Every structure is written in structure tokens, then in C-alpha cells.
Amino acid sequence: MATDLDNSSTGSGEASVSSSGNQMQTAPPKSTPKKKRNLPGMPDPDAEVIALSPKTLLATNRFICEICNKGFQRDQNLQLHRRGHNLPWKLRQRSSKEVKKRVYVCPEASCVHHDPSRALGDLTGIKKHFCRKHGEKKWKCDKCSKKYAVQSDWKAHSKICGTREYKCDCGTLFSRRDSFITHRAFCDALAEESAKNQNNQTPQSQAPAQNQTAGKLNSEPEPKSKPKVQTKNSSSSPPPPQPQQPPPPPQQPPQSMEAAPPSSTSVRSGPSQSTGVLSSSTLPIQTPAELPENPPRILEETPAEPGLNGSSSSITSSSSNGSTSSSVFASLFASSTASANLQPPQPPAFTDLIRAMGRPDHPADLAPSSSIEPISLGLSNNHGSSIFGTAGQERRQYAPPPQPAMSATALLQKAAQMGAAATNASLLRGLGIMSSTSPSAQQENLQWPQRQVEPDSGSVAAGLGLGLPCDGGSGLKELMMGTPSIFGPKQTTLDFLGLGMAAGGSPSGGLSALITSIGGGLDVAAAAASFGGGEFSGKDIGRSS
């Protein structure tokens, strides 16, 4: 655009000045209208407009000695060099031009800075601009895939890239602390967790809001603040606060309910529809955080221990939080064993847990697959989720018995050690609660006493029975059948593990039955049930510890 400069420096059309003989193009005389100085976007109108060719801008050695043609990056360096040539005094002086403020335009015609009224005031600036906008990106960060045309940009980025990373509960990564803090403050994950904590006043020691956030915050200073599953009692950082909070819960149960029967697959986001996956049933046990990531993991039958730890921690955390699925699960355990140090107000949590399981679209909320593992030990199908889902709702109604004093972790470990039976009872109870909706289950409950369930188991069964009626899954039935047999009179619960152990040689068998039943997949459950039932009968007799 043609603008009129009001002073003569550029209006006279004098050639632009360059400090060396480099080729350059002269900007045609342009002028800018009279404007106040320092108006944003308008450079000083008194300044001299200099247009340099792309070659000049990109050249690294702009300053060339006229005597030997050696190139230098800086003018001062060139001058120093020239001294060495022993020039006569006359030639030694630079041509004296008073120093005028110079602004530079970009040679690229389509660029906004091509216009003198939009010139940039700094030579380095225009060079960088040219490289960035119109140049080739020669510098690439090796950690991420970002490319840069200017070396200093690249350096600045490499300093930052991956050096400090903050991770929010919801999984988003930040490289800057202030963005992390701001996000964290408003993150849904925190909100849900806090709301849940407020509603579930847990007698546990941890501060309600601390569980997940504490885990996160503590890890902030670390390069990776990813919450780690800890087995300590109070805040194992279950990852994204389980979504089940009072507000969401009302909506969730229906979903989980729906999810359970139809999908009968892992509660986790539905993708893991693998029928044979016990892990689904383990979902409730899992700590929410990891669930979303590893549906496949559920399928694997991992060794009990790690899973135990995971789940126990999750359970613990959940119980301490009094929120989310883990707590639900914890309550499961708690109810069954005196040792479990779970908190009473589990039903909501359990429900939540169930819900989490049942809700595919909240992967974050689902327990990590790690916790699934222990369950998956025994349970091989992922139908559990459905059952849990439904059960979850029921769970609400059910008031778990007073919690044992042991922490969930301890319980799990103990269960693992005990290898059997006893713990299952509590699990069953939990299951029972969940499945309260299944009518068939109810029948099963009746059958339970027949099933040689010890008195405790009976109570468990009763508990389960409560749940059973609600559940429409035959699987639950199976579960009931399976579990009593597996679970001995023992009250220790880290049931799932115990369950797995109890099953002994073929944890998968028994558990699968259990799981299938839990999953509520009718077919699978039925099959599993029969399978499990058979197994159980054989096994459970042996378990009497």
C-alpha cells in the first residue's frame, strides 16, 4: 500500500544502506501518513527503511571485508579484521553517516512486514522473522517433533521440552507450572473428587480432598508427577477422581445398569468387551486411574501380588476417600473381613465403583487395570462389570457391616497369603450386594445355604443375596454359587485374591465362573457357572481355613 512518509529519510528514495557490498534491494520510496509515534503497529516514521534481500537476511556472514572477501557475522568483527590490513588512514574510517534509526522490511512480498509501515525495528528481529515465516525449518527438537527455523527458538524450546512436566489427574500434561495450576484448580477431576469427599465424610484420617490431589501435588516437584499407586493406607492417588459423585451418581447407576446387562464386558469403557475377561469383574477393585489404559490388561491374568497391591491401594484409597469405586470395592472387603480397614460408608462408594465400571465413557474413573489383576487372577471373564454395575446401585441400599481394622492392602496381602477361601466371603457379600437386583440371584441365595456355605458364608450369601435379586444376570448366580464354595468361613477378605487363591489350582476356573456370573453375561455366566460350580465343589471342600 502506498503511504506517504512525512520525513525525507525514506521519502527521498535514497538507497538503503548496508554495511557491506552485499546485494540488496531498495525499497521504493514509500511514505507513511502522519501518525503519532509509538502507535502500535507503526514503526517510527523518522526511521530509515531498509530492505534486504533474502540472501542477505539468510546469510550468516553479512559483513565482508572488501580486501580479502572474508565474511563475518558481525560488523564489529569485520572492523577488527580490517585493522589487520593496515589500511591507510583515509580508508580506515567508515563512511560517516550519522546513526539513524533503522527499520527493516521483509523482502517477501506477501508478508505483512513487507510494507514499510509495518517494518520491524531490529535487524536480528527481521532476520529471525524471515527465517521463521519464510524459511525452512532446519532445526528439530529431538524429544518431540517440533521444528524450528531459527536456532535460538530451537534452543529455547529444547530447554523446556520434557524438562518439567506436570500431569493432572485427568491425564493432561503441562510444561508450565502456572498453566498446570490453573487447569488443576478447575479440572473436573478435582471437582468430582472434592464433591465426593464432601459427601462421603469418611472417618479415615486423610483429608477428603487430599487423596487424589495430594498424590498429585506431592508429585508435582518431581519431573513426572504421575500419581503412583501407593499401597499406603491413605492416599493412594487413585487417579482421576472417580466420577461417581452425588451429582453424577444419579445418572450413572442407570448407565451402569444398562451397561452391565447388555455389555457384560469390562466396565471400563466398553471396549473391552471380551467376554472371557474376568478382569471386568475386577474392575471395581481396580484403582480408577489405570483402568482406562489397559483394557487388555484385564484379560491377562497377572500374578496376584502386584494386582493385590494395586487393588488394595486403590481400595484403601477409595475407602479412605469414601468415594468412588475403589471405596466401593473396599467396602466389599471391609464388609467381609474384620481386618479390612475399610470404612462403613461404602455403599455409595461401591455404587460408584460399580458405576465407574459400568461406564465406558469414563475411563479415567475406572480403576486401573492393575487392580483388576488380582481379580483377574481368578476371574477370567469381564462380565463382572455388568454385575457390578447393577450391583453398584444396589449397593447403595446395602449397608456394609462395620469395617475391619486392617487396611485394604494388608487385607489383600493377607488374602493372598491365606490363599483362600475366607476372604472370598466378603467379596461375595459385595457381589451379592451388587447383584441385589437379580432375581435369579435371589434364588441362588436360597440355594446358598445348601451349598455348604459356612455360617459366615451364609451371611455373605445373604449379603450377596441382597444384591442378587436385583441383578438379572445368571452369572451372578453363578457367582454366588461359586463364591460360597470358594470362600470359606473366613472373614478376611481380600476376597478376590483369596478367591483366586481359594480356587487354588485353577483360579481361573473358579474365578471365571465367578466373574462370568458377575458380568451378568448370561451365556458366559451360565457356562462359567457350571464350570465353576464343578470346580468349586471340588475345591471348596478343601478350603476350610
- For 397, half-sphere exposure in the C-beta direction (CA atoms, 13 angstrom radius) is 19
Using rule CB under 8 A, residue 47 touches other proteins: no
What residues does 139 pair with on adjacent strands? 148
Using rule CB under 8 A, residue 213 touches other proteins: yes
Residues ≥6 apart with Cβ < 8 Å to 459? 425, 429
Cell of 207: 483429608
Using rule CB under 8 A, residue 518 touches other proteins: no
Using rule CB under 8 A, residue 152 touches other proteins: yes
What single-letter amino acid sits at 28? P
Q: Tell me the C-alpha to C-alpha distance, in Å, between residue 74 and each of 24, 62, 65, 94, 156.
A: 17, 7, 11, 15, 22
Cell of 261: 446387562
Cell of 503: 480356587
What single-letter amino acid sits at 449? P
Measured CA to CA, the distance from residue 440 to residue 477 in angstroms comes to 6
Q: Which of 27, 52, 78, 195 binds other proteins (CB under 8 A)?
A: 195
Of 191-199, 226-234, 288-296, 404-412, which segment contacts other proteins by CB under 8 A?
191-199
Nearer to other proteins, 169 or 373 (CB): 169
Nearer to other proteins, 182 or 397 (CB): 182
Using rule CB under 8 A, residue 223 touches other proteins: no
CA dihedral 181→186→189→191, nearest 10 degrees, is: 130
Measured CA to CA, the distance from residue 461 to residue 540 in angstroms comes to 15
Q: Which of 187, 428, 480, 528 binds other proteins (CB under 8 A)?
A: 187
Using rule CB under 8 A, residue 161 touches other proteins: no
The least CB distance from residue 191 to other proteins, in Å, is: 5
Residues 164-183 that bind other proteins (CB under 8 A): 170, 175-176, 178-179, 181-183
The least CB distance from residue 40 to other proteins, in Å, is: 4
E-strand ranges in 106-207 read: 139-140, 147-148, 166-167, 173-174
Nearer to other proteins, 89 or 186 (CB): 186
Do 482 and 532 meet the contact criterion of CB atoms below 8 Å apart? yes
Do 278 and 515 meet the contact criterion of CB atoms below 8 Å apart? yes
The least CB distance from residue 413 to other proteins, in Å, is: 30
The least CB distance from residue 363 to other proteins, in Å, is: 17
Using rule CB under 8 A, residue 125 touches other proteins: yes
Measured CA to CA, the distance from residue 153 to residue 296 in angstroms comes to 41
What single-letter amino acid sits at 6? D
Using rule CB under 8 A, residue 343 touches other proteins: no
Q: Which of 1, 40, 69, 109 binds other proteins (CB under 8 A)?
A: 40
The least CB distance from residue 228 to other proteins, in Å, is: 19
Nearer to other proteins, 212 or 409 (CB): 212
Using rule CB under 8 A, residue 184 touches other proteins: yes
Binding mask 449-488 for other proteins (x = CB under 8 A): ----------------------------------------
Using rule CB under 8 A, residue 28 touches other proteins: no
Nearer to other proteins, 149 or 267 (CB): 149
Burial 476-488 (b: 16+ CB within 10 A, else e): bbbbbbbbbbbbb
Count of chain residues binding other proteins (CB under 8 A): 43
Helix (H) or strand (E) holding 89, with range, is helix 89-92
159: phi then psi, degrees, rounded to nearest 5: -65, -35
List contacts with other proteins (CB under 8 A). Answer: 38-42, 110, 112, 120-122, 125, 128-129, 132, 150, 152-153, 156, 160, 170, 175-176, 178-179, 181-188, 190-191, 193-195, 207, 209-210, 213-214, 217
